[in-house]
Amino acid sequence: MKHNDLEKNTISYGLSLAVTSLFSALLVVLKELCDHSVLVWMSKATGHHWMTHGIIDVVLFVALGWFLGTLNGGHGVNISAEKFIKTVVGSVVISGLIIVGFYMVDMLAG
């Protein structure tokens, strides 16, 4: 696959989106399970846990996207378009399922 800056950045930040989406879903679950520690800390850090959550997500997305762009001698990650699309879409779907699944189990158990 030939890379130019647009392709490199699209791939790097797309893969960063995939990872950040999964991280964010897991952070939602962690906050709910640790509401007396993680949730309290995140609330105190910025005044509201969702604000802290958003900041963490943005920092992770930007840092990881930049890092992935530096790989392969500065050409970024070498991945086919098909695999790239499947990775991004799959991670967003799995992230949604993690959150929905967690709340459904919580609702049924509670």
Q: What is the mean pLDDT of residues 86-95?
A: 98
What are 14-43's pLDDT values in tens digits? Answer: 999 999 999 999 999 999 999 999 999 999
pLDDT at site 53: 98
Determine the Cα–Cα distance for residues 103 and 75; give it in Å rounded to an integer.
40
3-state secondary structure of 110: coil
Crossing angle between the packed helical segments 49-74 and 5-33, to the nearest 10 degrees:
140
Q: How is the chain split into domains, by residue range?
A: 5-109
Q: What is the mean pLDDT of residues 79-104?
A: 96
pLDDT at site 2: 52
Amino acid symbol at 75: H
What phi and psi, each to the nearest 5 degrees, are found at residue 48?
A: -155, 135
What are 30-76's pLDDT values in tens digits? Answer: 999 999 999 999 999 999 999 999 999 999 999 999 999 999 999 99
